[in-house]
């Protein structure tokens, strides 16, 4: 039991500098916000003189193939 504790303490002591280095790097690292990958929408520079047509006045579209039951 005493030998096991000595070995565990020795390993823990030897790894301490690496653990401290890891913790320091983890504190410095920041995750980039997802919003930085989006582009801001630019307002249209030109305005249209004519309004765009609406789809509500269009006739319904028929299927090109028959529906099989």
Q: Where are the domains of the chain?
A: 1-25
Q: CA angle, corner 11, sides to 2 and 7, nearest 5?
A: 20
Q: How far is CA 45 from CA 14, 39, 41, 42, 53, in A?
A: 64, 17, 12, 8, 20
pLDDT bucket at 59, cuts 50 / 70 / 90: low
* pLDDT one-digit tens code per residue, 1-54: 899 999 999 999 999 999 999 999 988 887 788 888 888 888 776 656 666 767
Stated pTM of the model: 0.39
pLDDT at 33: 82
């Amino acid at each position: 039991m005493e030998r096991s504790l000595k070995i565990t303490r020795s390993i823990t002591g030897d790894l301490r500098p690496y653990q401290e280095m890891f913790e320091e790097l983890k504190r410095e690292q920041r995750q980039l916000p997802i919003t930085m990958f989006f582009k801001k929408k630019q307002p249209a520079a030109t305005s249209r003189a004519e309004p765009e047509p609406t789809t509500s006045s269009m006739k319904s579209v028929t299927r090109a193939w028959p529906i099989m039951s």
